[in-house]
Structure 1
Amino acid sequence: MTNPNTSIYIHIPFCKHRCAYCDFNTYAGQEDSIPAYVQALINEIEFVGHRTEQMNVHTVFFGGGTPSLLSAPQFDSILRALRSAFTFTADAEISIEANPGTISPEKLNAIRKSGINRISFGVQSANTEELRMLERIHDFFTVIEAVSTARKAGFDNLNLDLIYGLPEQTLASWQTTLQRIVDLHPEHISAYALTLEHGTPFGRWSSKGLLPLPDPDLAAEMYEYAEEFLEANGYVHYEISNWAKTNSEFRIQNSEFMCRHNLQYWHSLPYLAFGAGAHGYANGYRYSNALRIKTYIERLNTDNRSLNTSFPLSPATVNQHKQTPKDDMSEYMLNNLRLTNAGVVESDFRLRFGSGLLDVYPKEIEDLVKNGLLEYAKTSEVYRLTKRGRLLGNQVFVKFV
């Protein structure tokens, strides 16, 4: 798949409270640094923008952390810097992650006017006890209010994020959450299985027996129920953990509400990254920035105009890897196989890498097809995960690492 457009990811690492399951680069209690951080972001955007020819940007994603902690004028200043440094397509998708407990009608009206046109609310559950266990600062009534407020502000593209496979979560509770989510009519739904990451409170508690381990069989049952329930309610399952609303009259296997920014990742296409701990992929580099907020700000607050770095690296870059063809092929398989319908197209693979898919991965593909984890659609030349393969995705992906 070819695409001349680039995407931009901007990391906002601030949170009011760091949840016990979270493994992202986030920090609570450092909101006083937000103004300096915003200025550092603008400096990094200008630095990278000056080192490239004109680039067409078709998606921007503010992730975190809790990006909605920034004020509307701060978003406006970041977007002005981006538009000055890069060329935006007319229909650019500009997304923001938001905690339902950190928005107001005034803020949503203002950020909608600034050009942000998609919101991803971190809902996680509709169950009060589950939200409390996850240490979320909102309840489900707050979610209902946030969705209503966003609609009134003119947002017609909403994603609601969910987590399943929680300790002591029941299938009935998960079914209730899904029904309540569908009742809110979001254009997009994401559902991820809880992972107990090393170094998080959840990870430490579970290793000491203080937190019951999630039941993997029950989590698989929850996933299968979500597949059936969401499809029955008009959502196309286009990526392992993501569903987009379809046109109810034409049950197409596509949707204008698929997250275009995430599709950039899943199609292994380039994206720039700005902010503390942000990861990017462009000009043949995989790279990442300094993690700590203070370090990131310090690196961007000095005069670096004469710094000799290759695009897209910046003074904040601490890790860089020049991709080999083998790296790119491996990541292409991992990313594209996540797309449940699109999968990996043989002709696209050959066009991109100059070699046939079966020339590079003959044994891997043969084994996966034989074990019922991968299927081949001959008419479209597509390899895609089977339903069983979606449940056992890691067994598939490890073949290409």
Structure 2
Amino acid sequence: MRHLYLHIPFCHRRCSYCDFNTYANMEHRIAAYVDALCAELAMLREHIPPLPASPEAAALRPSIFFGGGTPSMLTPAQIERILQAAVAIVPIEQAEISLEANPGTVLGRDYLRDLRALGVNRLSMGVQSLHDPTLRMLGRIHTAAEARASYEDARSVGFESINLDFIFGLPGQDLAEWRATLQEVIRWDVDHFALYSLILEESTPLYAQVTAGRLRVPDDDLTGAMYELAMELLGQAGYRHYEISNWVRPHPADRPGAPPTLACQHNLAYWLNSDYLAAGAGAHGHVFPQRYANLRPIDNYIAAVQAGQRPIAETTPLTGADLAAETMFMGLRLDIGVSFAHFAARTGQPLTAVYGATLTELSAQGLITIDHERVRLTDRGRMLGNQVFAHFV
């Protein structure tokens, strides 16, 4: 199946924790950017990766993911143009089409209804917190009430697959506040949650505030307790913790040993180390044996495409060892782990021939389990995931 990432780098305001390739106060460049994005997609038609051979990856639906930035700043007409340009790469009639939406920019039911009519069938809303003072500190442009209203509007116009993003380990956040957030969103009856521990990036205003002592973040023990509380409460509510940072509601079509039906198909392609194309300023693609990154500045990106050039800033050659390592440390993030069949199909080598000694060591430490089909993280291994993944780098 084919997978395509589309980067929309515009925001009304940059959040204090964000180091993504995003730009505020650049709305006047959106029209030219959409023109360039459509032109780049025409260039990519000659670079469509082959269909994956592994059973798990072959079962995925094709996918298009509008990420950002804030894709919901685009008009429905602009999104329609982009999808028309993408149709030669991804069969959109069968595709999961995801769009990241900021509750502060979703313009009510009419906008959401137009998105749904265009074929967008999955929304990912960046809520981040239900505590209004925290939202203001983060630079978010919505309130908790507006987040709830945007979610309910999306449900009312027919979106059956909605993800909500939240961050824990935020400045001033304690376990009681995090518990209240989890209990509240569980009542919303959401399909899917992505819960991320705050990472302080050096280039961000939030990093400067914390290092200067103006804000304090929870220590590692408290942040770990927040993660464990999420596992406890979401598990009690019936959600499946199918990936280290992601939970999903069970679905009647779910099959044992397979990713959940309501999981993001595009993200599953990443975790299964599938090939995917990417377009847009700063977008990263992966077509073995290389990955590539586009030019980051909006005007540089537009100028390159207008000159008839692919806007690539750099390419990174990948070896067979890179492919094997990435297949392991990405796949182990999933609760189904890495199957022997998937590893062999993706790399052309038996898993035990490449990592036999490593698997034995990690198993003896209680960090992974191994059966006749696959390798998985244990509960302890999930808590120490980065230590496990380092064994494959």
Task: Indicate the TM-score class for this superposition, using the shorter chain for normalisation.
Answer: over 0.9
Measure how far apart 1:197 and its partner are.
1.0
1:11-54 CA-to-partner distances (Å, cap 9, x unmatched) read 00000110111111111111110000000000000111145599
- Paired AA for residue 279 in structure 1: H
Runs of 4+ in 1 over 6 A off after TM superposition: 53-57, 248-253
Q: How does 1:309-328 map to 2 (within 5 A)?
A: 315-328=310-323
Q: How does 1:113-124 map to 2 (within 5 A)?
A: 113-124=117-128
Aligned to 1:268: 273
**1:388 counterpart = 2:380:** yes
Measure how far apart 1:163 and its partner are.
0.4
**1:292 counterpart = 2:297:** yes
C-alpha spacing 1:87/1:262, structure 2 compared with 1 (3 Å): closer
Q: How does 1:206-245 map to 2 (within 5 A)?
A: 206-245=210-249
Identity of aligned residues (%): 43
CA distance in 2, matches of 1:347, 1:337: 14
Aligned to 2:83: 79
CA distance in 2, matches of 1:371, 1:271: 35
Q: How does 1:1-400 map to 2 (within 5 A)?
A: 5-50=1-46, 52=48, 58-83=62-87, 85-88=88-91, 90-104=93-107, 105-247=109-251, 255-304=260-309, 315-340=310-335, 342-376=336-370, 378-379=371-372, 381-400=373-392
The TM-score normalised by the length of structure 1 is: 0.91
- Equivalent residue of 2:84, what SS? helix
Measure how far apart 1:183 and its partner are.
1.4
- The 8 Å contact of residues 10 and 69 in structure 2, kept in 1 or not, is answered as yes
CA distance in 2, matches of 1:40, 1:356: 43
- Equivalent residue of 2:166, what SS? strand
Aligned to 2:58: none
- Paired AA for residue 112 in structure 1: R
CA distance in 1, matches of 2:222, 2:31: 45
CA distance in 2, matches of 1:182, 1:273: 34
Measure how far apart 1:199 and its partner are.
1.2
CA distance in 1, matches of 2:253, 2:79: 37
1:200-257 CA-to-partner distances (Å, cap 9, x unmatched) read 1122222232321331111111111111211221211110000111148999775321
- Paired AA for residue 278 in structure 1: A
- The 8 Å contact of residues 63 and 90 in structure 2, kept in 1 or not, is answered as no
C-alpha spacing 1:252/1:179, structure 2 compared with 1 (3 Å): farther
CA distance in 1, matches of 2:73, 2:182: 27
- Paired AA for residue 98 in structure 2: S
C-alpha spacing 1:334/1:53, structure 2 compared with 1 (3 Å): closer
Measure how far apart 1:171 and its partner are.
0.9
Pairs aligned (count):
383
1:115-147 CA-to-partner distances (Å, cap 9, x unmatched) read 101000001111122212212111111011101
Aligned to 2:57: none
CA distance in 2, matches of 1:303, 1:202: 39
Measure how far apart 1:350 and its partner are.
2.6
C-alpha spacing 1:78/1:251, structure 2 compared with 1 (3 Å): closer
- Paired AA for residue 30 in structure 2: I
- Paired AA for residue 109 in structure 1: R
- Paired AA for residue 29 in structure 1: N
CA distance in 2, matches of 1:81, 1:102: 24
- Paired AA for residue 389 in structure 1: G
- Which moves more between the two structures, 280-289 or 367-376? 367-376
CA distance in 1, matches of 2:111, 2:191: 21
CA distance in 2, matches of 1:252, 1:47: 40
CA distance in 2, matches of 1:355, 1:248: 34
- Paired AA for residue 102 in structure 2: N
- Structure 1 vs Structure 2 CA RMSD: 2.1
CA distance in 2, matches of 1:187, 1:62: 19
Measure how far apart 1:366 and its partner are.
2.4
- Paired AA for residue 395 in structure 1: Q
